[in-house]
C-alpha cells in the first residue's frame, strides 16, 4: 500500500509504503516543520504501521528535511542512500537557505546502496536502480510484483529532472531514463518526487523531454 504526503514549499512527494504485516518504509521524507511531521506520525499510529527504514532517492534538501526528526526517537532506523550523494547532504543547508527554508543542522548516517540491491517492505521486494543525472547518486526503487517505480527527481509526469544544479549531468540523466527505466513494462506506475503519477508507457510515448527518443508504445504502429 502507498500513501503520499506533500511536503515543504517545493511540494515534494514523500511516500509511505507498507504491507499487510504493517511494516513500512518512507521514501524521501521532506517533512518541513512539526505540522507535516505530526501528520505523518499520526498516520503511522492510526494505521498501526511500524516504520522500519528510510529510503532516499537522492540528497537534495527538499527530499531529506524530515530525516533528522524521524531519527530522533529511541530506536533510529536505517537511512539508505547512494554514497555518491553524500556531497549533496553537505550542501543541503546552503541550498535550503536559498529557498528561505531552515534546514536542521543535524548530520545523519546513511547505509550505502548499489545498483541491483534488493530492499524489502514486509512481503514486497524493491530493486535499486542507479539513475544518476539529476544528482550523481540518484536512484530509483522498482517493485516488479506491484508494478511500482519511485523515481525521485529523475523522471516526472511529462518532464525530467533538472541538471543545472551541482552534480547534475544531462547526458547521464538521459542514459539513466532511456537505458534503465524506459525498458520496464508499460503499465509500471511512476511515483515521482514532485507532481502527479504516470506510467512507463505514457512517458515512453508522450514525454516531450525525451524527444527525439520517443517511439510508439505499439511496435507495429507506423507513424
Give the pLDDT confidence of 166-220 residue by residue, as tens digits. Answer: 999 999 999 999 999 999 999 999 999 999 999 999 999 999 999 876 655 544 4
- Mean pLDDT for 10-32 is 96
Q: Does 216 reside within a domain?
A: no
pLDDT of residue 65: 96
Count: domains in the chain: 1
pLDDT of residue 222: 33
- Percent of the chain having pLDDT more than 70? 94
Q: Does 223 reside within a domain?
A: no
Q: Tell the residue number behind the cell numbers 537534495, with chain if given.
A: 60
Q: Does 190 reside within a domain?
A: yes
Joined together, the cell numbers standing for residue 194 give 514532485
Q: Does 32 reside within a domain?
A: yes
Report pTM. 0.93
Residue 128 is part of a domain; what is its CATH number? 3.60.15.10
Q: Does 162 reside within a domain?
A: yes
Q: Which residues of 163-197 are buried (b: 16+ CB within 10 A; e: fewer)?
A: beeebbeeebbbebbeebbbebeeebebbbbbeee
Q: Which of 72-81, 102-111, 191-200 has the lowest mean pLDDT?
A: 72-81
Range of the domain at 122: 2-210
Amino acid at each position: 500500500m502507498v500513501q503520499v504526503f506533500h511536503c515543504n514549499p517545493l511540494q515534494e512527494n514523500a511516500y509511505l509504503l507498507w504491507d499487510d504485516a504493517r511494516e513500512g518504509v518512507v521514501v524521501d521524507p521532506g517533512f518541513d516543520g512539526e505540522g507535516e511531521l505530526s501528520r505523518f506520525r499520526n498516520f503511522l499510529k492510526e494505521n498501526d504501521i511500524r516504520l522500519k527504514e528510510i529510503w532516499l532517492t537522492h540528497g537534495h534538501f527538499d527530499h531529506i528535511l524530515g530525516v533528522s526528526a524521524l531519527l530522533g526517537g529511541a530506536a533510529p532506523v536505517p537511512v539508505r542512500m547512494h554514497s555518491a550523494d553524500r556531497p549533496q547532504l553537505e550542501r543541503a543547508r546552503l541550498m535550503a537557505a536559498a529557498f528561505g527554508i531552515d534546514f536542521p543542522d543535524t548530520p545523519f548516517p546513511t547505509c550505502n546502496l548499489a545498483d541491483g540491491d534488493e530492499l524489502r517492505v514486509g512481503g514486497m521486494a524493491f530493486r535499486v536502480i542507479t539513475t544518476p543525472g539529476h544528482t550523481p547518486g540518484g536512484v530509483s526503487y522498482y517493485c516488479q510484483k506491484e508494478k511500482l517505480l519511485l523515481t525521485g527527481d529523475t523522471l516526472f509526469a511529462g518532464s525530467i529532472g533538472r541538471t543545472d544544479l551541482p552534480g547534475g549531468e544531462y547526458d547521464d540523466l538521459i542514459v539513466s531514463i532511456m537505458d534503465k527505466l524506459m525498458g520496464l513494462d508499460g503499465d509500471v506506475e511512476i511515483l515521482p518526487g514532485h507532481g502527479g503519477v504516470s506510467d512507463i508507457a505514457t512517458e515512453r510515448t508522450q514525454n516531450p523531454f525525451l524527444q527525439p527518443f520517443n517511439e510508439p508504445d505499439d511496435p507495429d504502429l507506423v507513424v
